[in-house]
Structure formats: structure tokens, C-alpha cells
Structure 1
């Protein structure tokens, strides 16, 4: 499997607390996502990978290149264009 170059960002920054202004962690994002699923039963079976796949599908008709989508979604270009 080909490895992807790890680059910093883009980040979702924390907006409150002692770490305000610092990048959020994956664990924090899962906690937020889990709360959203509890509040909205229609998200019960949703997963990050499915949301990311839907975002990729929606970006294609808007003229974004495979390379741009790859950068936004963190998916290798080959998987997007394949």
C-alpha cells in the first residue's frame, strides 16, 4: 500500500477552554460526532468514512480536480480518480 505524505493542516481549531486556538484532536471530533448522532437519530448509522465519501462525490460536479479533493479529504488521488 502506498503511503501518503503527512502534511500539517488544515485544522479545525478549538474555540473554547484552555486549548482555544489549538488544533482539535481526533478523539474530540469523535465525541462531538457521537453527541450529534444522539441528538439526531437519522445519523445513527453514520460513520466518518461514509461522510467523507459523500463529500468527495459532491465535490466532483463542482469542478474540483482529483488533486484538490485529495488534499481536502486526505484520500490518495488514485482512489478518487479510479
Structure 2
């Protein structure tokens, strides 16, 4: 079964009423990278970007921001 990594950044931004531009400015992660993470368009995730985003939101468990899902489940 094939798996896909899902970054749950859109929901975090909505919960904190924050824009991708603001998150980029506050974390020093390029806005283009944040937008690709939101759209699930990124193939390689730099751990330092995820680390900065997690630190900003106070996330200690990587599973709060990243999921591994079956591709067949995603289409449901």
C-alpha cells in the first residue's frame, strides 16, 4: 500500500487566524515553502523548516503537524 506524507499546516494557520505571509515572517521559512506545504505540493521537507514551524506553534510531537496516510484513504 502506498503512503503519502500530509503536512497539517493549513489547519494550524486557521486555528491561529494567521496567514502564510505572517508565518513566513515570524519563522524565517520562505513563504513559497509554506504555500507548498499548505497545498501538499512539496516533495522534500527540510527538517529545519518543520522544526521552526513546530517551535513557533509550541508543538512537541511531530504527529501534530505531519500525518502518514494511505493514498487510497486520501481519495475518500
Query: Same fold by TM-score, threshold 0.5 exceeded?
Result: no
Name the TM-score, length of structure 2 as normaliser: 0.29
More strand by share: 2
Name the TM-score, length of structure 1 as normaliser: 0.28
Higher RCO, 1 or 2 (CA under 8 Å, sep at least 6)?
A: 2
